[in-house]
Amino acid sequence: MTRDLPDPSTRAASRPFGRVLTAMVTPFTADGVLDLDGAARLANYLVDEQGSDALVVNGTTGESPTTTDAEKERLIRTVVAAVGDRAKVVAGVGTNDTRHTIELAGSAEKAGAHGLLVVTPYYSKPPQAGLMRHFTAVADASGLPLMLYDIPHRAGVAIETETLVRLAEHGRIVAVKDAKTDLTATSWVTSRTGLAFYCGEDPLILPALAVGSVGVVGTSTHFTGARTQEMIRAFEAGDNATALALHRRLLPLYTGIFRTQGVILVKAGLTAKGLPAGPVRAPLVDATADQLAQLRADCAAAGLDLPE
């Protein structure tokens, strides 16, 4: 007996947050103060020039471990106002404290966010029953759709397939940012649920599409967003040769942006382009001259220009 596949009208087919989501960095001034004017300008660039359908703010790439709750709320309000109805704003609210996560979810909802990104509680390594309790509690407490963030190499624990299948039964749990790098697990969940899977590892976007994912939450998409849109649309149109050619062309930057912690190189690249970024906050450190030179080489290999 074969298992019935999800109907095309399910949440996965609807793409609750579009195809290309960019995990936006948080701009700071030279002295490390939150740069809200810069955030508005960067948000417009990512939507208008890079084709982002949605922006994820206050994620790890947004240096959420080092921004205050008040800064997070101000950033959401600023980005929502900047992009208007041209893109959705998904707020990262995940912590390893369920109570604090619920508080951040409430703040994000009041600030106008369109959805929530909730990472697996990190460091404490809860069992699967604890993950069920955590994610369900956040979903119950909020009126916004949730995207779960499955990233075991940072969190220390994976959201197992059967846990994801059970969580998919909750009406507000609609998507997954999938950074597990296990396409077999992705295949099983996308075949059994209506969850919209967004690839969380830039080099794996095309393979992930082939097993049921619907888009990406990207880091390199600060620079590759428009061409990544082309790649996804080509794949959806059945033009696999074009999709593969674009994947291969962008691969140097899909991988190169992670030669060190992603936000470090994104901020270096944005600064080189004259866009708002500023320094990173400790314990991160800014890119070295050699790292910036390598980033320029990776951009050139991907057919993209990064000014000297």
Spatial neighbors of 256 by CB under 8 A, at least 6 apart, are 220, 265, 294, 295, 298, 299, 301, 302
Spatial neighbors of 109 by CB under 8 A, at least 6 apart, are 116, 142, 143, 144
Q: Out of 45, 72, 122, 177, which one is annotated catalytic? A: 177
Token reading at 173: 């749990």
Residue keyed to tokens 């002295």:
31
**Quick check: 11 and 207 in contact, CB under 8 A?**
no
**Quick check: 164 and 186 in contact, CB under 8 A?**
no
273 is catalytic: no
**Residues 206, 216: Cα–Cα separation, whole Å:** 10
Q: Out of 45, 72, 122, 149, which one is annotated catalytic? A: 149
**Residues 103, 93: Cα–Cα separation, whole Å:** 9
CA proximity to 44, closest of 91, 108, 87: 87
149 is catalytic: yes
CA proximity to 209, closest of 173, 172, 249, 237: 237
Question: The dihedral of CA 112, 113, 115, 121: what is its sign?
Answer: negative
Helix or strand run (H / E) with residue 224: helix 221-236
**Residues 296, 299: Cα–Cα separation, whole Å:** 5
- Residues marked active site are found at 149, 177
